[in-house]
Amino acid sequence: MCLLESIRIEQGEVQLLHYHQRRMDASAQALWHTAAPSLQHCVEAMSLPAQGVYKWRLTYNDKGIQTSELMPYQPKSIHSLQLAQADALEYGFKYADRSAIMHLWGQRGVCDDILISKQGYITDSSYCNVVLRHVSGVWHTPNTCLLKGVMRQYLIDTNTIAEVNIKISDLVKYTKVRLVNAMMPWRRCIEMDINAIKKPHKSIGVL
């Protein structure tokens, strides 16, 4: 079993390094009772591109880093989200095996991505945490997320967003939805009107 980290490198600078390390440390301790590899040591051994935005993708397990690759980052184009129910889905650690999520993603219909619900509560998209703009103007993120992403945590720590319960029935109280992850910071994230979230005509994707 391997875990995965995707880290943004912009203009030669590694973004949110300590947040990634903290998640890796917590995951390695919880799953294997061991220390995680040191990202700082990896960075010191790398030659980082001085210009542009890159995605550093690495996998690791209790034996250390298994794969490490650096590639130019191309953001996806997302304009619509299909609500998909997955009451039994668990993704509390950033597993490299995303087959259950990708199975659900395959049922998105004409939409670009999915918005996963669990027991009636909003969680995440297939690869991002979600943040919704309340009619009051405050940005909320579900406290029922499947995975606590590093960008999500950074935005909470900086008081940019707040954690709340968000049921499917609460979506009428929101006007915008944003997708955030380590590769998509707040000012460069995907934003859509709330009506970009499509409810299924019938139950789909129950996991």
For the chain (207 residues), the mean pLDDT of every run of 10, in chain order, is: 97 98 98 97 96 98 97 96 96 96 94 97 98 98 98 98 98 98 96 94 48
Residues 57, 9, single domain; the answer is: yes
Helical ranges in 2-117 per DSSP H: 17-32, 39-44, 99-105
pLDDT at 57: 98
**Token pair listed for 162:** 């707040």
Residues 7, 61, single domain; the answer is: yes
The residue range of the domain holding 8 is 3-72
- Which CATH number is 24's domain given? 3.30.470.10
Residues 39, 99, single domain; the answer is: no
Cα(88)–Cα(17) distance, integer angstroms? 32
**How many structural domains are present in the chain?**
2
Instruction: Tell whether 203 is covered by a domain.
Output: no
Q: Give 82: exposed, middle or buried? Use CB within 10 Å, 0-12, 13-18, 19+.
A: buried
Beta bridge partners of 2: none
Question: What global pTM score does this model have?
Answer: 0.93
Residues 103, 156, single domain; the answer is: yes
